[in-house]
Amino acid sequence: MVNTSATHKPFSLSRFIVRVLTYLTLAAIAFVILIPFAWTISTALKTPRQALMYPPEWIPNPVVWENFISAWTAKPFDVFYRNSLLVAGLSIVGQMLSCSLVAYAFARLRFPGRDVLFLIVLSTMMIPFQVLIIPRFVLFKNLGWLNTLLPLIIPRFFGGAFNTFLLRQFFMTIPLELDDAAKIDGCNHWDIFWRIILPLSKPALGAVMVFEFLDNWDDFLGPLIYISSEKNYTVALGLNAFRNDYFMEWNLFMAAAAVAMAVPLVIFFIAQKYFIQGIALTGAGGLKQ
């Protein structure tokens, strides 16, 4: 072992107790956080009989892996997942394109009314979607877009306050000298945006990607209002319908819920650094909603 006696303070009982208590509390909170996850998986692997036992048991016996297949086929979950991935994928493209363009203008260009307009961008964050649902519903009804995925996708191509703000904050940190050098090389603003700012903004774009994915994956009210037939359901709608159409198949419900939760969890584990980046940039704890 490395000799640390130079920095080592003499043993103190009170400091030792504080450390033990700290770790115990940390572990206790982690335990409470993890119990519902364990309960999901435990139930998902039980027979229907064992799922409905009182008092409940933790260890599935026998372990029924087929529950995942039964849940997946009880409703066309393949269709729901395809729809959700399609919506999330296209929304990400739409937000990355539109918000980065808008953010570039607010970060780099001078035009009359810029600061007022940016203030309006920010203030739209204070108007909850719920206030606007009725006219939006009527709008999409008149466009003939009800019961399609379009109302969930198209608006994402027209900017959005949260992601615009996030990207603008990041663009502001890129030194202006780069722009000047590019201008001397004969670049116009589109070139600067496309070839200098965007390639340097991968961390912020990554944050937009993960936030936008989760925002779509987690949305329920939007799909609920716009979509009526099962072939256009997203995963969130599918889960809800699954529970409504069946009765007490909690082992299957938990299997379906476990898969729906696994997708964003995997993304979170992979893309942690983008989360932290996005949180640092916006000061919000992630997720718009």
Does residue 89 bind another protein (CB under 8 A)?
no
Q: Given candidates 17, 34, 172, 270, which one binds another protein under the rule CB under 8 A?
A: 34
Candidates 67-75, 85-93, 165-173, 236-244; binding stretch for another protein (CB under 8 A): 236-244
SS3 63: coil
Contact predicate 238/75, CB 8 Å: yes
Q: Given candidates 106, 170, 233, 274, which one binds another protein under the rule CB under 8 A?
A: 106
Q: Please list every residue from 155 through 214 that binds another protein, using CB under 8 A.
A: 155, 157-160, 164, 178, 181-182, 185-191, 193-196, 199-200, 214
- Residue spans of beta strands (DSSP E) within the chain: none
Per-residue burial over 195-211, b if 16 or more Cβ lie within 10 Å, else e, is ebbbebbebbbbbbbbb
Count of helix runs (H) and strand runs (E) in the chain = 16, 0
Candidates 9-17, 67-75, 85-93, 112-120; binding stretch for another protein (CB under 8 A): 112-120
SS3 readout for 209-233: HHHHHHHHHHCCHHHHHHCCCHHHC
Candidates 8-16, 60-68, 104-112, 165-173; binding stretch for another protein (CB under 8 A): 104-112
Shortest distance, position 16 Cβ to another protein, whole Å: 14
Q: Given candidates 89, 225, 230, 246, which one binds another protein under the rule CB under 8 A?
A: 225
Shortest distance, position 84 Cβ to another protein, whole Å: 9
Instruction: For residues 192 and 108, give the distance between their C-alpha atoms in angstroms, rounded to a whole number.
Output: 10
Q: Name the residue with tokens 């979509």.
A: 227
* Residue among 122, 117, 277 at smallest CA distance from 208: 277
Does residue 148 bind another protein (CB under 8 A)?
no
CB closer to another protein out of 218 and 230:
218
Contact code string over 44-83 relative to another protein, x by CB under 8 A:
-------xxxxxx---------------------------
Q: Given candidates 71, 92, 105, 152, which one binds another protein under the rule CB under 8 A?
A: 105
Contact predicate 100/203, CB 8 Å: no
| Token reading at 21 | 């208590």
Instruction: For residues 58 and 68, give the distance between their C-alpha atoms in angstroms, rounded to a whole number.
Output: 18
Q: Given candidates 16, 39, 63, 66, which one binds another protein under the rule CB under 8 A?
A: 39
Q: Given candidates 145, 218, 230, 246, which one binds another protein under the rule CB under 8 A?
A: 218
Instruction: For residues 191 and 184, give the distance between their C-alpha atoms in angstroms, rounded to a whole number.
Output: 12
Does residue 22 bind another protein (CB under 8 A)?
yes
Q: Exposed, middle or buried, 251 (CB in 10 Å: 0-12/13-18/19+)?
A: buried
Q: Please list every residue from 246 through 285 that binds another protein, using CB under 8 A.
A: 250, 253-254, 257, 260-261, 264-265, 267-269, 272, 275, 279-280, 283-285
Residue 252 identity (one-letter amino acid):
L
Q: Given candidates 63, 134, 172, 270, which one binds another protein under the rule CB under 8 A?
A: 134
